[in-house]
């Protein structure tokens, strides 16, 4: 046993291992997405980990955590639709756009009826542009914008295209609104709250935000951090909350391969397209044992080529995130 300079036993080095799968964590309030990821990663002792879609510390709800081969799906999940429920406090703006910031403006809340509110919401639905907030992880010259914002520096941000598929009010008080929204990637609900308030002639900030789901996990159950950490670390494969990698692609048609075809695919070689295969942009390839190998796509006429492999040791296009 090694010792430190003080003579005390040195702490044992953590042994990382290969863990493949997706955890749909119900992120608790008060943790950053990276802190939540590292808690689960350390418990699983997973060598590779990444998360798909940052949630602010104040926010709760679905945070897809990807481990091992599943880290290659992080980019795909980041581009999917998301659904949120949020509570707005009208009449008060904060520097961060949420309850963790400092109040910067307080104004009256003018009276408005259901028709006026409906008009405001209707104007915000659909495809449009949204300017990201200063308190965000977007970078300028390699530095996160929130670092500049904390120093009182504001820089111009380019508006980005977003889509608000659904936006409805689920509750209303004298100075509060509860909303539910289904939106594209890149949508800031904090900014949406400010946009709603501006349409009503006032200001607002978020006092609560919960991500209800991330596509394609609309109906999937989440697991709490306590439930994860209550599971024996030596048994991650048997945990019901560790979903298989291919659950990230439920809408992609299946391609069943024989042993020879599976070997060729894992070597990165092209395969002849089987007759009767439905037209699709991608296919989920499986070996005879039902193991998910990866995604293939139509290549040259009559052939299929590797789009991304999800098996250890196989050639891949690009690298996976590692934290």
Tens of pLDDT, residues 90-108 = 999 999 999 999 999 999 9
Whether residue 158 contacts residue 147, with contact meaning beta carbons closer than 8 Å, is answered with: no
pTM of structure? 0.88
- Regarding whether 102 and 58 lie in a shared domain, the answer is no
- Mean pLDDT (the chain, rounded): 89
- Residue 287 falls in the annotated catalytic set: no
Q: What is the CATH number of the domain that holds 30?
A: 3.30.2350.10
Q: How many CB atoms lie within 10 A of CB 290?
A: 7
Residues 33 and 59 placed together within one structural domain of the fold: yes
92 lies in the same domain as 168: yes
Cα 313 → chain centroid: 26
Same domain, 116 and 164: yes
List of residues 6+ apart from 213 with CB closer than 8 A:
62, 82, 83, 219, 220
Sequence-separated contacts (24+) of 28-32 with Cβ below 8 Å: 28/60, 28/224, 28/225, 29/57, 29/58, 29/59, 29/60, 30/57, 30/58, 31/57, 31/225, 32/57
If you average pLDDT over each of 41-45, 49-53, 87-91, which comes out highest? Answer: 87-91
Task: Say which residues have a Cβ less than 8 Å from residue 118's Cβ, sequence separation at least 6.
Answer: none
Answer whether residue 236 shows pLDDT above 90: no
Q: Is residue 74 part of a domain?
A: yes
Annotated catalytic residue: which of 20, 26, 56, 246? 56
How far is the C-alpha of 81 from the C-alpha of 79, rounded, in Å?
7
Residues 6+ apart with CB under 8 A from 154: 134, 148
Q: Are residues 90 and 178 in the same domain?
A: yes
pLDDT of 316 reads: 41
Residue with tokens 């042994």: 15
CATH number of the domain within which 260 lies: 2.30.130.10
Look-up of token digits 């639905």: 125
What is the average pLDDT across 197-209?
A: 97
- Domain range for 231 is 21-80+217-245
The pLDDT assigned to 322 comes to: 36
Instruction: Report which of residues 207 and 138 the model is more confident about.
Output: 207
Is residue 3's pLDDT more than 60? no
Residue 13 within any structural domain of the chain: no
User: Once rounded to an integer, what is the mean pLDDT over residues 106-124?
Assistant: 96
User: Is residue 49 located within the same domain as residue 130?
Assistant: no
């Amino acid at each position: 046993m090694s010792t430190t300079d003080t003579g005390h036993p040195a702490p044992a080095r953590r042994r990382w291992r290969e863990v493949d799968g997706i955890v749909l964590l119900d992120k608790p309030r008060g943790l950053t997405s990276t802190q939540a990821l590292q808690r689960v990663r350390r418990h699983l002792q997973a060598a590779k980990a990444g998360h798909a879609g940052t949630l602010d510390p104040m926010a709760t709800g679905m945070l897809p955590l990807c481990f091992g081969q599943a880290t290659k799906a992080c980019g795909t999940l980041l581009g999917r639709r998301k659904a949120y429920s949020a509570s707005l406090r009208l009449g008060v703006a904060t520097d961060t756009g949420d309850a963790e910031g400092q109040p910067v403006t307080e104004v009256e809340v003018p009276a408005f009826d259901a028709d006026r509110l409906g008009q405001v919401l209707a104007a915000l639905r659909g495809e449009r542009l949204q300017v990201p907030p200063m308190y965000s992880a977007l970078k300028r010259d390699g530095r996160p914008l929130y670092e500049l914002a904390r120093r009182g520096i504001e820089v111009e941000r380019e508006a980005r295209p977003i889509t608000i598929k659904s936006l409805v009010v689920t509750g209303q008080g004298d100075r509060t609104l509860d909303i539910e929204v289904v939106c594209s990637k890149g949508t800031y609900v904090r900014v949406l709250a400010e946009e709603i308030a501006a349409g009503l002639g006032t200001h607002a900030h978020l006092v609560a935000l919960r991500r209800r789901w991330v596509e394609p996990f609309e109906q999937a159950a989440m697991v709490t951090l306590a439930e994860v950490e209550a599971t024996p670390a030596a048994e991650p494969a048997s945990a019901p909350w560790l979903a298989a990698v291919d659950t990230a692609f439920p809408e992609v048609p299946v391609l069943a391969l024989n042993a020879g075809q599976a070997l060729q695919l894992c070597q990165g070689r092209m395969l002849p397209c089987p007759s009767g295969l439905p037209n699709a942009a991608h296919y989920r390839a499986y070996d005879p044992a039902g193991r998910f190998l990866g995604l293939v796509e139509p290549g040259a006429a009559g052939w299929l080529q590797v789009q991304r492999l999800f098996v250890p040791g196989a050639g891949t296009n690009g690298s996976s995130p590692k934290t």
